[in-house]
Structure 1
Amino acid sequence: MKGEADDIEHILKNTKTVALVGASANPDRDSHEVMLFLQSKGYRVIPVNPGLAGKQLNGETVYASLGDIPEKIDMVDIFRNSEAAGGISDEAIAIGAKYVWMQQGVVNEPAAARARAAGLRVVMDRCPKVEIRNRGL
C-alpha cells in the first residue's frame, strides 16, 4: 500500500540510529546479519538483548532495554515475536523514537495503532536489509 511504501522510503532515508531489539551474538541469526548490514550502510545500530547486556556486539555495547540506551534513537527494529512487539512498541513511544520497524513475520496491529497515534511511523512484516537492497539505497 502506498502509505507504507512512503513510510519505508522516509524511514530508511531519515534514520541515523537504530535500536535492534532481539540482537544476537550468533552469526547464523538473521538479527546478527541485519545488524552488520545496517552498520555497513552507515547506520549506528545499538543492540538490545537482556541476556547480553553490558557486552560488546559488533563494536557496540548491548543494552537490556530501550530505556537503558543513553542516547536518542530514530528507529526501533524489532526482532522478536508479534506478541512481544506490543510492549517493545510501547517502549519505543516512551523513549521518543520516531519509527517502529517490525521484522518479517512480525505483525501487531494494536501496537502499530498505538505507535501511529503517538506520532510514530510504523512498518510491519518487512526487513530493512531487503528494502534497502530493493530500493538501491
Structure 2
Amino acid sequence: MDRLLHLGRTLDELDPPRWATPGSDATRLVRRVHELRRVPLGELGPEDLRTLISQQVALSHVLPLAVRLLLDEPMLDACFYAGDLLLAAVNVPASAWDVFPDLRTRLRTVIVALPDVAVAILPRGAAEELTRFVARPESLH
C-alpha cells in the first residue's frame, strides 16, 4: 500500500501523461473520469473509486484505495447498490492484481468470509463473479 503515500497527488500527476480536456461532445461519464484524474487521491470517495475502477483508469493507484475501504466494509454502497465497489474491484483484469498479491489475498479472505445473506442481495451473477475472483490462480511470474 505504498501508493497511499501519494494521497496529496492526482492521477494526472501519478499516471502520465496528463489527459487533455474532453471535447464538447464527450459523455457525462467521460467528463467525470477526466475530472477525477485531477482530484487528489486522498479526496476520492467510494463512488469516485468505483467509477475509475469500472473504467479501468490508473488501477495501480486506485485499487489500493478501494481495497483499504473494502477490508473494513466489503458491502460498501459506492453509488448503485451495496457491494458495487467490491464487484468493480473483482472484475478488473487479473493482471491488475499482479502488482498487489497481498491485497488480492486480503480481499479474497474478506470475500470468503462474507455471509450468504450479504451475497444474496447482490445482483444476479455477482456470486459467480466473487467465486471467480477467489478461485483465480496466483500469477505465475
* Structure richer in strand, relative to its length: 1
**Which structure has the higher relative contact order (CA within 8 Å, separation 6+)?**
1
Instruction: Answer with 1 or 2: which has the greater Rg.
Output: 2
- Whether TM exceeds 0.5 here: the answer is no
What TM-score do you get using the length of structure 1 for normalisation? 0.35
What TM-score do you get using the length of structure 2 for normalisation? 0.34
